[in-house]
Structure 1
Amino acid sequence: MRRLLTASAAIALLVLAGCGDSGSDGGSPAPGGQPALKKATLTLNWVPYGEHAPFYYGLKKGFYSDEGIDLEIKAGSGSGKTIQQVAQNNTTFGWADTPPLLSGVGTGMKVKSLGVFLQKGPAAIEFLSDKSISKPQDLKGKTVGGTPGDAMYATFPAWLQANGMTASDVKVVDVDAAGKIPALSEGRVDAIMGFFHDQGPTIEAKTKKKVNYLLFADSGLNMLGTGIVVNESTLSGDKDLAARFVRATQKSWAEAAKDVAGAADAMVELAEQEPAKDVLVKQLELAIPLLELDKGAPGVNTDQKWKETIDLMVKYAKLKDAGEPSKYWDGSHAASNSK
């Protein structure tokens, strides 16, 4: 089992090293007369993998402490559960996929996005390259492993429909998250649902075989991916904390994109992550293009992108009373240029 990261010790070292703690919310003075850092937690969408390296990079470089935040990063067990943790105020912020966020708001959860960073969703069907699969229709009659409760499992029927198929065209085999990769590598399923930039490099490292994939975003279901989720009570009660967290996260991602190896090193040091550094590097390298940095700073979205995702959820996922993007997203904290 991977150890959850408690960042307090790391932050303390950064402060002692002179990384600074400006932007404090005015808490009780710390020893030496400096304002105390504001404690906050971030629950990831899954156990740490390469996509999460920028958060650890931000911790190591002092980007969060510079904004007055003492950040603790917690592993997650699926975007849906992370959103629930945010809705129940069990964590300050969440890192979660957008489709389950929309669904959660639709059921009455008082949460909002502060900005989606992976503007092209990473959801995919993954398979070994020796399978005769090159397009969605090639999955007919095949077995696909998926984990009930995760984002891909929920949207897979919509992806089939978008490609002219029905649920009866494939056999879905329910497996737990830890069992998906063994099921694929051992030939018990023909393909699995997953985030290509996470599982692809992991499977290749374990099997020494090439992995191919069909990206949902390239085949009829281009929806926003993962981003920051917050409880509405935090937005109303501590808007400054939300703004500071977004600034630190934007800077963390922007700088990590320029120093992928350094971000992987920070993750190895602070998260004690199981995959080797080369796997983490590959995972982050595959994630960075999904930011679409040529169109703007990390985490800066447009109404049009949100409307496209909402429309797809209405069409394929039966999202009711959809409303406008402002129902799900508060983009006022995501500056057009990261700090």
Structure 2
Amino acid sequence: MKHLLPALGAAALFATATVAGAAEPMSLMLNWTPTADHSPIYYAKSKGWYSEAGIDLSIEAGKGSAVSAQRVGSGGADLGISDLATSMQAKGKGANLTAVMVIYANSPQGFYWLKSSGIKGPKDFAGKKIGNPPGDAARIMWPAFAKKVGLDPAAVNFVNISPPAKVAALKSKSVDIISDFYNEHDLKAKEFGADLGFQPWREIGVNPYGNSIIVNTAYLQSHKDQVAKFTSITQRAYEACVKDFNPCLQALTAAVSGLSPDNQRDQWERIKTLMRDETTTKVALGAFDGARVKSDYDLVATLIGIDKGFDPSTMFTNDFLDKKVKMPAK
């Protein structure tokens, strides 16, 4: 699949105005409120790339990967962004969904604590309070983390807090530990300095695919051309933002109020690390590796459980990605 606009050719470009005027609605539910990792989508929308392809894209803020997976899987949203392992669990419960592009090729999950609390590492989490939202992928995947580090999954208490309240909750010591994505690392490092303890999941061997673009499978089957266009455009947008983040930052902050540009720049630098692995650099930006997907499936099935098993190869497709678009190696 070529870059969208060049591939459309002269005839399609001639028809752009007509297509845009008759753009078909498409709904996208994010995993959380919009931040830097969603900026390429806002950039592509601001440039008119979706509307030029006949897509009238609406974007809805999310409340966790579990919620977005359930919404997409039930047909309440056409597409969404969700942690892949969480999407696997949803699929095992009957959610009708397929992943078409990975954003985080590495797990963004991490736990944070204050060293002054006496916690030295995950083995000290027993009896402690972990603060995060109920729909957070870290809470759903906690049993896998706990078993990997030798903890009883029931050894901690989860406290419901909203994403913006995490740092304040840790600072006030109303919780002992918080979970958060690695792209938010700099805020906590600046706030707590040398007192900050941090354990990324990927460094202990729990590195499932993270945020991915998922599509309701029935919608995919009936709107294959639209999904192909959306995926190609979105892949191209992420490539553009990797090359130059400033236009993407401008598009994000113009669409979403209250964001700190400096914080979003810091986040994007971390995000690029999470986007990069051997498959995204050698096959295509956003591409899944089938062996890794199967490994993730086995991890979820063994350590957490999947209600109704399925063939992990049905979890994803790379068919809509342009193989010429690759993540830079560094």
Q: 1:172 to 1:65 in 2, by over 3 A?
A: same
| CA-atom RMSD in angstroms | 2.8
1:49 corresponds to 2:35: yes
Contact 2:20 2:51 in 1 (8 A): no
Deviations 1:58-101 (A, max 9, x none): 22233323433222221111111112221232222101111111
Distance 1:338 1:31 in 2: 27
Measured in 1, the distance between the counterparts of 2:262 and 2:135 equals 30
Distance change in 2, residues 1:142/1:216 (3 Å): same
Using the TM superposition, name which of 260-269 and 247-256 deviates more.
Answer: 260-269
**CA deviation string 1:271-299 (max 9, x = no partner):** 22x23100111112111111114344321
* 1:14-66 deviation line (CA, Å, top 9, x unaligned): xxxxx99x69xx9xx89779653232121100011121111112222333234
Shift of 1:184: 0.8
**SS state at 1:213 partner:** strand
Q: Counterpart of 1:112 in 2: which secondary structure?
A: strand
SS in structure 2 at match of 1:109 = coil
Residue-pair matches, total? 314
- CA deviation profile, 1:197-240 (whole Å, cap 9, x unmatched): 13x344456x4646542111221311010111111111111100
Secondary structure of the equivalent of 1:172? strand
1:336 pairs with 297, 309, 323, which one?
323
Equivalent runs, 1:206-285 vs 2, <5 Å:
207=191, 209=193, 211-272=196-257, 274-285=258-269
Among 116, 139, 143, the alignment partner of 2:129 is 143
Q: Residues 270 and 175 from structure 1, CA distance in 2 versus in 1: closer, same or farther, beyond 3 angstroms?
A: closer
TM-score scaled by length of structure 1: 0.83
Partners of 2:162 and 2:255 lie apart in 1 by 27
Shift of 1:181: 2.8
Residue identity (%): 27
Which residues of structure 1 form unaligned runs of 5+?
A: 1-18
User: What is the DSSP-based 3-state SS (H/G/I as helix, E as strand, rest coil) of the residue aligned with 2:40?
Assistant: helix
Change (3 A) 1:336 1:129: farther
Aligned counterparts of 1:33 and 1:175: Cα–Cα separation in 2: 44
Report the CA distance between 1:121 and its aligned residue: 1.2
Query: Secondary structure of the equivalent of 1:333?
Result: coil
Match in the other structure for 1:291: 275
Q: Is the 8 A contact 1:30 1:36 kept in 2?
A: no
When residues 40 and 139 of structure 1 are mapped into structure 2, their CA distance, relative to the original with a 3 A threshold, is same
CA gap 1:34/1:222 in 2 versus in 1, 3 angstroms:
closer
1:319 and 2:319 correspond: no
Q: Can you give the 5+ residue segments of structure 2 that lack an aligned partner in the other structure?
A: none
Partner of 1:5: none
Paired residue for 2:161?
Answer: 175
| CA distance in 2: counterparts of 1:119 and 1:62, whole angstroms | 27
Could you give the per-residue CA deviations for residues 303-330 of structure 1, whole angstroms, max 9, x where no partner exists? Answer: 1110111011011111244332222212
- Closer/same/farther in 2, CA of residues 50 and 34 from structure 1, 3 Å limit: closer
- Counterparts of 1:129 and 1:72 in 2: how far apart (Å)? 43
Please list the CA deviations of residues 152-204 of structure 1 after superposition, one character each: whole Å capped at 9, or x if unmatched: 11111220111111135434333344443321121222211222213x34445
Q: Of the candidates 61, 68, 73, which is equivalent to residue 87 of structure 1?
A: 73
Q: Render the CA deviation track for 1:89-145: whole Å, top value 9, x for unaligned.
A: 222210111111101110111111112221111111123465555532243443322
- TM-score, structure 2 length as denominator? 0.85
CA distance in 1, matches of 2:290, 2:19: 44
* In 1: Cα distance, 2:307 partner to 2:17 partner: 52
Is 2:89 the partner of 1:103? yes
1:114–1:229: 8 Å Cα contact kept in structure 2?
A: yes
> Aligned to 1:338, what secondary structure does the other structure show?
coil
CA distance, structure 2, for counterparts of residue 208 and residue 191 of structure 1? 13
- Equivalent residue for 1:11? none
- Contact 2:19–2:52 (8 Å) recurs in 1: no
What secondary structure is seen at the aligned counterpart in 1 of 2:213?
strand
Q: Larger % of helix: which?
A: 2
Match of 2:206, SS state, is: coil
